[in-house]
Structures are given as C-alpha cells and as structure tokens.
Amino acid sequence: MGCTSEDPHLNPCYYPSPYDVDGDGIVDVNDLYEMKPYYGIGENDPHWNSRYDVEKSGLIDIDDFMKIVDLWGCTVSEKWCYW
C-alpha cells in the first residue's frame, strides 16, 4: 500500500499532524496565518484554542510559531513530522 494520494484525507498513511493546525495536509504559511490571531492568548482566555498551542505550554506564543517553522513543509504522511 503506497502513500501517493494527493489528498491527505484519502491517503492510507494519513495521520493528522498536530503541527498542521489548519488540517490541509502540510505544515506551511497557512498554518501560521491561522495561528496569528491567537498569538499571546493563554489557556484562561475565552478565545483560547488548544489546537494552536502546538507545544502545549498553556500559551500561544513564539515557541509555537517556531515549532511550525521547524517542521515547515511537512506533510502528514512523513514520520519525521510527529516529533
């Protein structure tokens, strides 16, 4: 069984990556755009969304953005995307 489908949701090797926050199958600039309005929001804020706190610190900050940058270009079918 290959992992060749263009659509990650049809890919037999698809597992959602926590770093692909918009769920389109690749870690890229669109994930940063989606996170941007949440920058600086902590877990006690009514606008809190744990999806954007990718390294689970309780605050959406530069560390979360840097994690996305570290894994830039990852697609969900690549094992090295699951650190």
Provide the binding-site residues for Ca ion, judged by CB under 5 A: 20, 22, 24, 31, 53, 55, 57, 64
CB of 4 to Ca ion, least distance (A): 19
CB of 64 to Ca ion, least distance (A): 4
Q: Judged by CB, which is closer to Ca ion: 38, or 53?
A: 53
CB of 20 to Ca ion, least distance (A): 4
For residue 59, what are the CA distances in angstroms to 9, 39, 51, 69? 29, 8, 11, 17
Number of H helices, E strands in the chain: 2, 0
Q: Judged by CB, which is closer to Ca ion: 1, or 52?
A: 52
Phi-psi category of 73—alpha, beta or left, where left has phi over 0 and alpha has psi -120 to 50? left
